[in-house]
Structure 1
């Protein structure tokens, strides 16, 4: 399976990719419809673990839902994923994806328990939240990814339909994703290191191919300013 992910900028649908990962809120309906008409599938991205102050449903989050700021990402705060209100909002986002005709969803920031969020989140509370996301997506007939969250792969591989990972090669963690390959489920990988290093990119692609991963080298902004595919 070939794939493409773009979350910012005018969407380029000119790649010969079987699957596109696009922003749930910002992607025009006609883009989704046109991709379907050409036989491609669309996965809709949203952040399931953070508040983003530019989203159309931002007013639904309460002050109690919002925790610490998220690193170098302006306008984002960690969410209390135990919150009934947060879960209701995410359920509505998944329903929105279904209503727009998305074939699946890519919920991001689902590893809050391993970060400084301002909330007493735990390994088990994260498992509970992620399974809630996966079950809700499946209830709407959507495929769903496990995004990063490598420490919980063994517990979640049976619940997710595929994995999307950023930079496991950089941290020497790619072996943690092999349960997806063993289960016959795709691993879609993003590299941010080799955009200006063709030789390094070739070596990287050999490594990804040996693992059975589908890897793209992309800009951190995911804005289609460049794209190098391993396949």
Structure 2
């Protein structure tokens, strides 16, 4: 997902963090929950199914169900049995060549590969055939029993430079209608919708996930996150590239100083070469 690397004034607050070395683990308020992520990771491996099955309890568990070798129904039931809500990752702004439906998507994609992620191509033409492919994915998620869908790459059509570089044919109006149509379809299947790094056109979504890193803290428009918090919707930060556990503690604590204690948080650290999880049961 391309971060927009905006640098609002509040980023200065995050840069002035404590140098204490004996930090307590931050905890959010009663609206927060543990987050597990089997779908993606920035530098290392995502959470394994074994870890999720052993540790996740009353958590938001993000998974990638659109692979041919995905979990059986029984394995998903086991993940849900501990009070977890499971979320299906879906990229609505790109086609990924490792997906089984990639050949069907090719007529709607840019010919030029996305420079940041090998094997991904931006959606260029938003047409009924593309929407049908995405609805088939949503049907699959509903059939498997997913509680949520996390919509990635929602902002791809809203940057003029991106549209020009990749020769994207459709425009913002079509993208907004497409985002809302997919939300409405998911809701009709009994699935809640998680926006990703974005609020425009996603005001009716049920929650939001933002990604940040040690070098691009709080890059988004603060009012976008605050709007979800004000409505008491789930807000998640997936944070990358902290040196160690204390760095992750510090980042989470600083976010709570800005936005309050209603943010759920998961952080990658270089010391542990994977995610560490917060707000877990004592």
Q: TM-score by structure 1 length? A: 0.86
Aligned to 2:209: 164
CA distance in 2, matches of 1:92, 1:199: 43
Aligned to 2:150: 106
CA distance in 1, matches of 2:249, 2:177: 39
Pairwise CA RMSD of aligned residues?
Answer: 2.3
Deviation of the 1:219 alpha carbon? 6.8
Deviation of the 1:206 alpha carbon? 0.9
CA distance in 1, matches of 2:171, 2:103: 27
Q: TM-score by structure 2 length? A: 0.71
Give the structure, 1 or 2, with the largest relative contact order (CA under 8 Å, sep 6 or more): 2
Larger Rg: 2
Deviation of the 1:80 alpha carbon? 2.7
Q: Aligned pair 1:202/2:234, yes or no?
A: no
1:26-37 maps to which residues of 2 (within 5 A)?
26=67, 27-29=70-72, 30-37=74-81
Q: Deviations over 1:79-114 (max 9, x none)?
A: 135221110100110011000111111121111112
Q: Deviations over 1:16-51 (max 9, x none)?
A: 342200002243023311112222111111211111
Aligned to 1:142: 191
CA distance in 1, matches of 2:264, 2:63: 17
Q: Deviations over 1:158-194 (max 9, x none)?
A: x100101111862532613110000110111111131
Q: Aligned pair 1:118/2:167, yes or no?
A: yes
Q: Aligned pair count? A: 222
Q: Structure 1 regions of 5+ residues with no counterpart?
A: none
Evaluate the alpha carbon distance shift between residue 99 and residue 36 of structure 1 in structure 2; reply closer, same or farther with a 3 A threshold: same
